[in-house]
Amino acid sequence: MALDLKNIYKIYPNGYQAITDFNLHINDKEFVVLVGPSGCGKSTTLRMIAGLEDITHGTLEINGKVVNNLPPKARGIAMVFQSYALYPTLNVYENMAFALDLAGFDEDVIKKRVDETAKILGLTDYLDRKPRALSGGQRQRVALGRAIIRKAKIFLMDEPLSNLDAKQRVSMRSELIRIHRSVGATTIYVTHDQIEAMTMADKIVCMDVGVIKQVGSPEELYFHPANIFVAGFIGDPPMNFINGQFEDDKFVSEGGLVSFGLEGLDPKLLGKIAHKPLVVGYRPEHCFFELSDENKTENCVSFASKVEVYEMLGDVQNVYLNNGKDKAIIKASPEKTVSIDSSLTYYVNKKDLHFFDKASGNAIE
């Protein structure tokens, strides 16, 4: 089912405005992820879609029908919460069958649906087990099964993986994508983890303080962030930033430790960035240590820095640097030798720089 949220506001009786002018179209069978820091309004938006929170202003449409005043049970929505909320005295079969039994379905229909759902979720061999005998990932699958078995057309998921350990979260991400494709329901997923958003979403909605900062595919938000907030939120580690402006055909950072000329920059960009305070961004993975024929001096920006901390992650190491007025994180090969307090020079190709207007925070394309 398709959803349309039009000019949605959520204002609480005490005057706190949690959501401001929220506009979003969600296509049928799309996997949409709402992502942002804690308190940005993700879960509030999800609860308004579910009917668990009233909408102060604006309209919510499901398949073209306004549902603002419909009770939750009449919206055709299934919700999966952060907590599994399983009945501890019931086994997996009984937990999954509970809602259908309550609705008066025949036992034959219930058994057929439970068996079908268990097969999708890989739970066939666990139907007689109680929740306490299951792993965290298996319990989350049972919680998903209770939603799937209702054959709802819309799934709402509120941080369903946050109670799992790191290894389980990675495996469950791929499981959720597989389940989504198998079931074919429209899915709206809330998380504060941008890695979950990048790996799972067809469309990401990046939020801050109740406002949508950018909507787009994972690739769009990563390669073309609309503003400094999105650039700093999407990416692990986040984008590095330098404050400064162009003076006499040269960019000079605040403090003057970083400067570079106009060579190698898109001519269409030059008129938009001259004589105004700027923030220049570059991603940790776009840094390198030696110039080549492709990355010549005039096409690159050099950074003289001092190593503060480094993290060896196996396939890569994150190196935390002090560039004078600015801090930076770069990704380096694990073979690169670094030591704390040592000097390090690295380079970034100008084509990998992002320019933002310092006053508005918006990207300059």
Question: Residue 97 belongs to a domain with what CATH number?
Answer: 3.40.50.300
Residue 320 lies in a domain: yes
pLDDT for the residue 178 = 84
Mean pLDDT of the region 293-314: 88
Q: Is the pLDDT of residue 248 over 80?
A: no
Q: Say how far apart CA 342 and CA 345 lie, in whole Å.
A: 10
Taking a C-beta distance cutoff of 8 angstroms, is the pair 139, 32 a contact? no
193 vs 3: CA distance, rounded Å:
24
Q: How far is CA 147 from CA 94, 131, 140, 299, in A?
A: 14, 17, 11, 54
Whether 219 and 71 share a structural domain: yes
Averaged pLDDT score across all residues of the chain? 90
CB count in 10 Å sphere of residue 45: 27
For the stretch 48-92, pLDDT in tens is: 999 999 999 999 999 999 999 999 888 989 888 777 778 899 999
Answer with the one of 213, 233, 253 that is the final residue of a domain.
Answer: 233
299 lies in the same domain as 190 = no
Residues 248 and 320 in one domain: yes
Looking at 233, 264, 298, the residue that finishes a domain is 233
The whole-number average pLDDT for the span 342-346 is: 93
Domain co-membership, 78 together with 213:
yes
Residue 188's pLDDT band, with cuts at 50, 70 and 90, is very high
Could you give the percent of the chain with pLDDT greater than 70?
A: 100
Tell me the average pLDDT across 186-198. Answer: 92
pLDDT at residue 15 tops 90? yes
Specify if 86 maps to a domain: yes
Residues 194 and 256 in one domain: no
Shared domain for 148 and 246, answered yes or no, is: no
Q: What residues contact 107, with CB distance under 8 A and at least 6 apart?
A: none
- Per-residue pLDDT at 120 exceeds 90: no
- If phi over 0 gives left and psi between -120 and 50 gives alpha, with beta otherwise, what is residue 159? left
Are 173 and 259 within one domain?
Answer: no
Q: Could you tell me if 312 and 200 lie in one domain?
A: no
pLDDT of residue 256: 74
| 330 in a structural domain | yes
Within 8 A by CB and 6+ apart from 308, the residues are 320, 321, 322, 327, 340, 341
**The two structure tokens encoding residue 38:** 């804690």
- On whether both 22 and 111 belong to a single domain, the answer is yes
Does residue 365 sit within a domain?
no
Indicate which CATH number applies to the domain containing 257.
2.40.50.140
Select the highest-mean-pLDDT range: 86-90, 172-176, 245-249: 86-90
Q: Which residue has the higher pLDDT, 163 or 67?
A: 67
Candidate from 8-12, 18-22, 214-218, 252-256 with smallest mean pLDDT? 252-256
Residue 362 within a domain: no
Res. 206 pLDDT band, cuts 50 70 90: very high
Q: Domain range for residue 164?
A: 3-233
Q: Are residues 204 and 292 in the same domain?
A: no
Is residue 270 in a domain?
yes
Same domain, 262 and 141: no
Burial letters for 26-41: b for 16+ Cβ neighbours within 10 Å, e otherwise? beebbbbbbbbeeebb
Q: State the total domains in the chain.
A: 2
Look at residues 179, 214, 233 and tell me which one is the last residue of a structural domain: 233
